[in-house]
Amino acid sequence: MKILVCISNVPDTTSKINFTADNKAFDKNGVQYVINPWDEYALTRAIELKEAKGGTVTVLNVGEADTEPNIRKALAIGADDAIRVNAFPKDAFFVAQQIAAVAKENNYDMILMGKESIDYNGSQVHNMVGELLGIPSVVPAFKLDMVDDTTARLEREIEGGKEVIEVKLPFVASSQQPMSEPRIPNMRGIMTARTKPLKTVEPVATEAKTEYVNYSKPEKKGGVKLIDPENAGELITLLRNEAKVL
């Protein structure tokens, strides 16, 4: 079984976020990057399936050279090899096109990724990849098991309960908690990751469908106003005129 796991390189949630002077680009200075946490659930589950059923796990990232340390981390966790598409991820459609192009060349049985990236929270790529490849996409799933060599069973949340789906290989799925427990690379994994294959390929020609015009930070929160508990009228006035929630 050949499993492809797509990972994103995202800012650590503890990093201070800034934009360039014209607010048209993200300022990377001083920002620590990590593997997208949702993708780590997919990666760990893929490795667990490989350990139980045999096969290979390939990690794919669409990104520039500065993403390679986190690709190596994914190899240290247990992936067998990696592919980096040498391009800045312009938008979801661009990324999906690159993933689909790699998948078409290598005939993977399963394509896994997180339900979204924690920087843009788009939740778009997985469905686009399934559509581009003409295969089912199950999103987002919190459980993934193999029924037999050709069929997988996935569970996902729906309103008021859960849905159990059986799907034939190949397919695309996105992951969320509690699909797996993300692993921390051990010393042996870190050492072996240095020699595992990491192939760089050029992107296929495609145009992004969206353009980011500008970025802005949320407005700073105002100070807290304390209202006398006997003065309900003042509270209602503030809620209506300032907070505008009434």
State residue 22's pLDDT score.
87
Question: Are 196 and 81 within 8 A, CB to CB?
Answer: yes
**Contact by Cβ (8 Å): 99, 39:** no
Task: Please give the pLDDT value at position 219.
Answer: 80
Q: Mean pLDDT, to the nearest integer, of 92-110? A: 96
Distance of alpha carbon 151 from the chain centroid: 24
Percentage of the chain exceeding pLDDT 70: 100
The number of beta carbons lying within 10 Å of the beta carbon of residue 47 is: 20
Task: Show the domains of the chain with their CATH numbers.
Answer: 2-218 (3.40.50.620)
Tell which residue, 54, 117, 48, 131, has the closest CA to residue 89.
117
Over residues 121-162, the pLDDT tens digits come to 888 999 999 999 999 999 999 999 999 999 999 999 988 899
Q: What DSSP designation does 61 have?
A: E
- pLDDT for residue 77 is more than 90: yes
**Is the separation of the CB atoms in 112 and 118 below 8 Å?**
no
Could you tell me the sign of the dihedral formed by the alpha carbons of 197, 201, 207, 210, in that order? Answer: positive
CB-based contact 9:62 (threshold 8 Å): no
